[in-house]
Amino acid sequence: MNAPAPAPATTIGPPLWLLAEITYRCPLHCAFCYNPTDFAATTVELGTEDWLRVLREARAAGSVQCAFSGGEPLARDDLEVLVAEARRLGFYTNLLTSGVGLTEARAAALKAAGLDHIQLSFQDSTRELNDFLSHTRTFDLKQKVAAMIKANGWPMVMNCVIHRLNIDYIENIIDMAVELGAEYLELANSQYYSWALLNRDQLLPSREQIERAERITNERRQRYGDRIRIFFVVPDYYETRPKKCMNGWGSVFLTVTPDGTALPCHTAKMLPGLSFPNVRDMSVREIWYDSEGFNHFRGDDWMQEPCRSCPEKEKDRGGCRCQAYMLAGDAAAADPVCDKSAAHHTVLKAVDRAQGADSHALRAAPLVFRGPAESKRLIAEASEAARS
Amino acid sequence: MSETVGVAATARPRVSAKFRLQWEDAQQSWVLLYPEGMVKLNASAGEIMKRCDGSRSVDELVAELERAFEASGLHADVMNFLDMARKQHWIEM
């Protein structure tokens, strides 16, 4: 692969968004998790001092939004220390959490540290679907956490990943969010990476399901008016043009994974032939402006047809590099969601399989739940396949 | 027909608790930060917003801007901006 010449530094804006994935540890087992399926290979996490340095370097390079994510970020007991430093540096600090592990004491400590916002995800990991839908344990936990969020004066954003198995209950999800007092609700259809890709046949909703969910979402918007703002994100498999993934490669997003690998998006590590720097070895500024990994898909020298001559190439930047790699087998190809892509049929095939009653058989196949044991099994399977 | 009440000249606008206003050196601009998002303000919007701290009435704010930029007749522009900012929930009165 020819390495494109790096774009002149003046055209590259600062890494406005820092996603700090501070741990892969998580009490949940979500079948749609975007963490890499081989996450169990990460055994050593960046320490507190390294994270503090990353925060300082990123802020100096112009980062302003900082999201603490994971895994479950509350699994780290230095979260409060990191938040306090981020806030002191002038970051707007977001905590992306399932709420599991948030006690009154930790909420108070996070408030004192200056945490600006909590995004609470529904603990719908599909294994707990019945519980979730029956409003019992999940509702109790969410109610407790929601009350803490309110009591501390944080704005409340709820996030629920939508998929085939919960989309028909979207009215329950919306009503629950309103009942809990959320100001924003993100109904984000699962995107098919990592664990969700393994489970795609079981998770991709049918067209009919999506249309119904959109209609109900609109009805609920009317009903609740200003009480809640609801965002509904359609799965991109049902589009004919790709999303402008990460707002463009190396344009605003910087992800740092639990082991310190710096990535232009949280799944980019899967791309072959690219090397991504580690914050232990390189400063954030160097990583952002000078590293091969971040410069690789900047500009348009890397583009092939149909992207290269496409009038819409700046609008979507060719879509998602990971999706191109996963579905077309080439990270520099057009995102197969695009109906101009030679591999668009791979998307259509998955969509076809999601329609109608015969998909019942697919749903009977077991879901692969995210977890360390499953991750180790997948790592072993992959190395077995590589040997043969 | 607009249903907005408009902005009273005696109102004392302040940045809403839902947003944080701060100067960003890297962007050479004032920005409004909110959950997982950012509004980058242009120069004149920044000059108005940074004066929305609840201490000045709209009239005082306009007078201050006119002095600072040796300009006159800014009243209508500032009112339009504040009306928009209030609708966006950037400011409270």
As a whole number of angstroms, the distance between CA A357 and CA A375 comes to 31
As a whole number of angstroms, the distance between CA A104 and CA A123 comes to 19
Q: Are A180 and A224 in contact (CB under 8 A)?
A: no
Structure tokens at A116: 């600006």
Residue A385 is predicted with a pLDDT of 86
Our measurement of the distance from residue A30's CA atom to the centroid of its chain's CA atoms, rounded to an integer in Å, reads: 12
Amino acid identity for residue B65 in this structure: L
Residue B77 is predicted with a pLDDT of 93
In the predicted model, what is the mean pLDDT of residues B38-67?
96
In the predicted model, what is the mean pLDDT of residues B27-55?
96
A-interface mutation test, from B34, B41, B87, most A Cβ less than 10 A away: B34
Check A157 against B35: CB less than 8 A apart.
Answer: yes
Q: Does A65 touch chain B (CB under 8 A)?
A: yes
Residue count of chain A, please give it.
Answer: 388
Check B35 against A119: CB less than 8 A apart.
Answer: yes
pLDDT value at B46 more than 90? yes
Among A35, A129, A31, smallest CA distance to A365 is for A31
What is the enclosing helix (H) or strand (E) of A233?
strand A229-233
Give the fold, CATH level 3, of B8-88: Arc Repressor Mutant, subunit A (1.10.10)
Please state whether A273 falls in left (phi above 0), alpha (psi between -120 and 50) or beta: left
Nearest-Cα distance to chain A for B21, in Å, is 10
Mean pLDDT by 10 residues, chain A (388 residues): 47 95 92 92 95 98 97 96 98 94 96 96 62 58 89 92 90 89 93 92 93 97 95 93 95 97 95 95 98 95 96 96 96 97 96 75 72 92 85
Chain B partners within 8 Å of A157 (Cβ): 35-36
Instruction: Report the residue from A61, A64, A153 with minimal CB separation from B38.
Output: A64
Average pLDDT, chain B: 91
Q: Domain spans of chain B?
A: 8-88
Q: Does A233 touch chain B (CB under 8 A)?
A: no
Chain B partners within 8 Å of A65 (Cβ): 33, 36-38
Nearest residue in B to A63, CA atom: B26
As a whole number of angstroms, the distance between CA A98 and CA A145 comes to 9
Chain A partners within 8 Å of B87 (Cβ): none
Chain B partners within 8 Å of A116 (Cβ): 20, 33, 35
Assign 3-class secondary structure to B33-91. Answer: EECCEEEECCHHHHHHHCCCECCCCHHHHHHHHHHHCCCCCCHHHHHHHHHHHHHCCCE
Residue A135 is predicted with a pLDDT of 47
Chain A partners within 8 Å of B89 (Cβ): none
What residues pair up with A159 in beta bridges, in sequence order? A121, A186
Check B27 against A62: CB less than 8 A apart.
Answer: yes
Q: Are A95 and A73 in contact (CB under 8 A)?
A: yes
Nearest residue in A to B33, CA atom: A92
What residues pair up with A65 in beta bridges, in sequence order? A17, A92
As a whole number of angstroms, the distance between CA A231 and CA A161 comes to 12
pTM of the model: 0.91
Check A92 against B27: CB less than 8 A apart.
Answer: no
A-interface mutation test, from B16, B18, B23, B36, most A Cβ less than 10 A away: B36
Nearest residue in A to B18, CA atom: A155
